[in-house]
Amino acid sequence: MFPALLHDALTVGAVLFVLGLVGILTRRNLIVMFLSAELMLQGISVSLVAWSRYHGDFGGQALVVFVLTVAACEAAVALVFVLQAFSRTGRLDAAAWQSLRDAEVPRRIDRELPATDAAPPVWPQLTPAGVRPRRDETAEPEREHV
């Protein structure tokens, strides 16, 4: 591979990465943010393939195959999250993630460290062999909301 071709490929990779970074930093739409992250990933992949071809080694190209596989899995998971946010809020703003928490948890923006718990945690105790464990009569057998 010629150095001029390497330079062109690295320029294309850098442009893709910068466009994705600008999209992540300036947009609040979840789909646009997701696509910008994918654009950044593709810019890195183009650079990896260019360097791999320049050095005559297939290691970078093999790594790009794995990166594309992980990106496909990430796309499926991110699409589920975006659809869930849209179905609950009816909008695709990044602030919609605040409404995806449980109903009893209030909305808040993390700006300071949370207070530490004063009560020590209660750990379950194993019963000796042959003895039935005590059952908590006040506990409900099923949770209301999962």
Question: How do residues 62-95 score in pLDDT, each as one tens digit?
Answer: 999 999 999 889 888 988 888 887 887 787 877 7
Average pLDDT, the chain: 83
Handedness of CA 27, 30, 31, 36 (dihedral sign): positive
Which one has a higher pLDDT value, 39 or 122? Answer: 39
Predicted confidence band of residue 112 (pLDDT cuts 50, 70, 90): low
Read off the DSSP letter of residue 23. Answer: H
pTM: 0.62
132: left (phi over 0), alpha (psi -120 to 50) or beta: beta
Average pLDDT score over residue span 101-121: 68
Domain contains 114: no
Sequence-distant (6+) residues with CB within 8 A of 11 are none
How many CA atoms lie less than 13 Å away from 80 in the CB half-sphere?
A: 5
The CATH number linked to 47 is 1.10.287.3510
Domain contains 50: yes
Domain contains 44: yes
* Type of residue at 71: A
Number of domain units in the chain: 1
Its domain, for residue 74, covers 3-95
